[in-house]
C-alpha cells in the first residue's frame, strides 16, 4: 500500500497504515507579506518541519537562508518556491552545510551577509532508534549530542552576536516531547532534547535585555521523514504500549511549522523562555 508522508510516496503494509494514529485536521492559511523585509535562518530546511517553516516564511514574503546537509532537498524546495507565482513571495537562499561544522556555519552567515537577522530556527536533528541506555554505544550517543545540541550552540553563537548588535531577534529551537518527558524516545535523543530546552531557558534569561527572544517548540507525533523506528526490542516492549495508550493524533509538518512561525512573529514579543508543546495533549499525560 502506498501513502504520502512529508510529500513523499512511501510503501507501507496495510497493518502499518492501520496502526498509524489519525492525522489532526488542519488547513494552512498563508498571510501574504507577513515576513516582508525579514531574514530568517532555518536549519534542516530540506525536509520535514524545517522545509514547512522555510516554505511558509518565503511564501509570506520573507528571505530564508535554508540550511541542510542534503543539497537535493534544498534544490527541490528552491525550485518549488521559484515557480510560485503568488504575488509577494520572498527569497530562498540555499546553503548546503553540516551544522556541526564551524567552517560550514561560517558560510551560512556569509549568505546572510549585511542583512538584519530577524530569526533563527534550529530545526536540524536526528533520532536515536529508541536505543535504551544499557544498549547505547559511545559513537551513537556522541553523534546524537553533536547534532541535536552541539549544532544549536554553534549556530546560535553568531546569531546572538548579530542580534545583540541589532538589539532585536527571535530564536526558536525545535525540541521534542522527549525534552519534557522520559517516555517518548531513546536515551540519547531524550538527553539531547532536555539539554536543548535547558539551553533555551538559559539563553532566554541572559539575552532578554537585548530584546532577543529564545523559545522552543516540542513536537509530539509528527509526520516527517525522520526515522522513528524502534531499533531495540527492549524499548519497544516498554514504551510501545505507553505511546499507543496516549491516544494522541499526528500533526503535519506544516502544523508544527505554524507554531514556530508564531514564536518568530512580533505577536509573541512578550514570550521568551517558553517550551511550547505541540503534541495534542500527550505532554499533559
Q: Catalytic residue positions?
A: 189
Measured distance CA(35)–CA(24) in Å, rounded: 26
Give the CA distances from residue 49 to residues 45, 115, 163, 247, in Å, rounded to whole numbers and listed in that order. 8, 24, 24, 22
- 110-135 burial, b at 16+ Cβ within 10 Å, e below that, comes to ebbeeeebbbbbbbbbbbbbbbbeeb
Measured distance CA(271)–CA(88) in Å, rounded: 28
CB of 159 closer than 8 Å to CB of 169: yes
CB of 129 closer than 8 Å to CB of 227: yes
- Kindly state the cell numbers that stand for 32: 501574504
Q: Output phi, psi for 115, to 5 deg.
A: -65, 150
Amino acid at each position: 500500500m502506498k501513502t504520502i508522508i512529508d510529500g513523499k510516496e512511501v510503501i507501507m503494509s496495510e497493518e502499518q497504515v492501520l496502526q498509524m494514529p489519525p492525522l489532526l485536521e488542519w488547513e494552512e492559511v498563508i498571510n501574504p507579506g507577513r515576513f516582508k523585509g525579514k531574514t530568517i535562518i532555518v536549519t534542516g530546511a530540506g525536509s520535514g518541519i524545517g522545509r514547512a517553516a522555510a516554505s511558509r516564511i518565503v511564501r509570506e514574503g520573507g528571505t530564508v537562508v535554508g540550511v541542510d546537509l542534503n543539497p537535493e532537498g534544498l534544490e527541490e524546495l528552491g525550485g518549488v518556491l521559484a515557480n510560485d507565482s503568488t504575488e509577494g513571495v520572498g527569497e530562498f537562499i540555499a546553503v548546503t552545510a553540516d551544522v556541526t561544522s564551524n567552517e560550514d556555519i561560517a558560510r551560512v552567515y556569509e549568505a546572510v551577509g549585511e542583512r538584519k537577522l530577524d530569526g533563527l530556527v534550529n530545526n536540524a536533528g536526528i533520532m536515536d532508534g529508541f536505543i535504551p541506555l544499557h544498549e547505547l554505544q559511545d559513537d551513537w550517543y556522541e553523534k546524537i549530542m553533536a547534532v541535536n545540541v552541539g549544532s544549536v550552540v554553534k549556530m546560535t553563537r553568531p546569531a546572538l552576536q548579530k542580534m545583540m548588535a541589532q538589539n532585536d531577534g527571535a530564536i526558536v529551537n525545535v525540541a521534542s516531547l522527549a525534552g519534557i518527558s522520559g517516555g517518548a524516545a531513546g536515551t540519547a535523543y531524550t538527553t539531547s532534547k532536555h539539554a536543548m530546552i535547558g539551553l533555551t531557558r538559559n539563553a532566554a534569561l541572559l539575552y532578554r535585555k537585548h530584546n532577543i527572544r529564545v523559545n522552543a517548540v516540542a513536537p509530539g507525533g509528527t509526520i516527517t521523514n525522520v526515522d522513528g523506528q524502534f531499533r531495540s526490542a527492549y524499548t519497544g516492549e516498554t514504551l510501545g504500549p505507553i505511546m499507543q495508550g496516549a491516544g494522541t493524533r499526528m500533526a503535519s509538518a506544516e502544523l508544527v511549522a505554524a507554531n514556530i512561525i508564531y514564536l518568530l512573529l512580533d505577536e509573541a514579543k512578550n514570550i521568551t523562555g517558553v517550551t511550547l508543546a505541540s503534541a495534542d495533549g500527550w505532554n499533559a499525560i
